[in-house]
A = this chain, B = another copy of it.
Amino acid sequence: MSDISNMAIAAKKASIDMAVLDSDVKNNALAAVCEALLANEDAIIEANKKDLVNAEAEDLAVPLLKRLKYDSHKLNDSVTGIRSLIGLEDPVGKVNLHTTLDDGLELYRITCPIGVIGVIFESRPDALVQIASLCLKSGNAVFLKGGSEAANTNRILADVISTAGISAGLPEGWLNLLESREDVNGMLSLDKYIDLIIPRGSNQFVQYIMKNTQIPVMGHADGVCHTFIDRDCNPDLALKVVLDAKTQYVSVCNATETILVDEPLKDTLLPKLLDMLKDNGVEFFGDDYVSSTYGCEAVSDWHHEYLDMKVSVKIVDGVLEACDHINEYGSGHTDAIITANEASAEIFMGRVDSGSVLVNCSTRFADGFRYGFGAEVGISTSKLHARGPVGLEGLVSYKYKLIGSGNIVGDYASGNKTFKHLRHDI
């Protein structure tokens, strides 16, 4: 059997032990991880310097170098993040349904960890720390595969975190680092042992994962986010929000990629919008009207994620047409309406079929930290299980516990007994 299979069998075993840990043990383990990170600060930063030297030699772009860097400041941010996680309620063991089926037959629905989770993430060492601690708090065993540029940093971080956890009472095999593409491919076939894959990365990469595994996948392939400017809007507010939604950070999934402008604003707000985009270095592409009137290039694909200082602009006739366009060409990630009309806002939020629907604010807000979840493992565009930014709550499942006193179904089938189905308030 391959190494990765053996690791997966051990992780599955560990996940059963993790599922029954007391909250105290998990919180103590998180505290031990904090101490170990601080105690190993020099060695971690040294390892990160090796990665940075390699990356510079390979001419990695400056923004990527910035994300790869893991210095004293970022390490302390990681520790602060873990400490805030310790303070959060344990997501495991919460009773969310209790029904007395009959005398001496009590049904409970109780949250429990998912089991073994595989996370594949970009070259940010702080992501490794965040994901590992979210999985620990939620009682899941985890496979981690980070970007190869961060190989040295990831190796020492995984080692420090795994060891600290085990010394504080976590089972061997609770955290596993994968280092190659082959390991990732190996993981994809282990649906007997791995319960969930969370891939973060390019559209192409996420699609590849989704198509090559029987394991459930949580995440998003792309973020074609829209901002619709309704006829009844405050124009200054609209321009301010759209500028932030497009330009505050262009290379992320919640940046706006298409601006929809309501038809009555064609001669008023539209020219101001286009001027503002131009003044701020944003190249725009248009529908027939916009491209012929303003001499820009026409949009060839309305389902296009620029991740750049570029944006598509389209005229639509009212909020219903905006909803239709978004449901047809969006990716179910995050879409916003700018309006002073409550009825339009309600229609938009009801009909746009996306994880986050926003009114009068920037699409850039759709993120686990900003939503107050402490941290996120990713953003899901699936409609099953967790949707939108996924924090601790998305990392648990539940099981039914039915506690009887010798009850048999025959008694109910024969009519000797009948169910009471008394549902208790939680």
**A residues engaging B (CB < 8 A)?**
12, 15-16, 19-20, 99, 101, 105, 107, 109, 114-115, 195-196, 210-211, 214, 216, 218, 234, 237, 240-241, 243-245, 248-249, 323, 327, 345, 347, 349-351, 353-362, 364-366, 370-372, 382-385, 387-389, 397-410, 412-413, 419, 421, 423
Contacts and interface: CB of A to CB of B under 8 A. Distances in A.
B20 A406 contact: no
B248 A366 contact: no
A408 B323 contact: no
A196 B409 CA distance: 31
B353 A19 contact: yes
Contact of A402 (B19, B114, B366, B409): B366
B408 A362 contact: yes
B248 A410 contact: yes
Contacts of A400: 355-357, 366, 371, 387-389
A403 B362 contact: no
Contact of A383 (B114, B240, B356, B408): B114
A246 to B, nearest CB: 11
A399 B356 contact: yes
17 contacts: A16-B327, A20-B347, A105-B361, A216-B216, A241-B406, A245-B408, A248-B408, A249-B409, A355-B399, A356-B402, A357-B399, A357-B400, A358-B403, A361-B404, A361-B407, A366-B400, A370-B409
A407 B243 CA distance: 11
B406 A364 contact: no
Given A19-B353, A196-B384, A244-B408, 12 more contacts: A20-B347, A20-B351, A101-B371, A107-B371, A114-B383, A210-B214, A211-B214, A356-B399, A356-B401, A360-B403, A361-B407, A387-B400
Contacts of A354: 399
Contacts of A409: 244, 248-249, 362, 364-365, 370
A357 B248 contact: no
| Highest count of chain B CB atoms <10 Å: which of A12, A210, A403 | A403
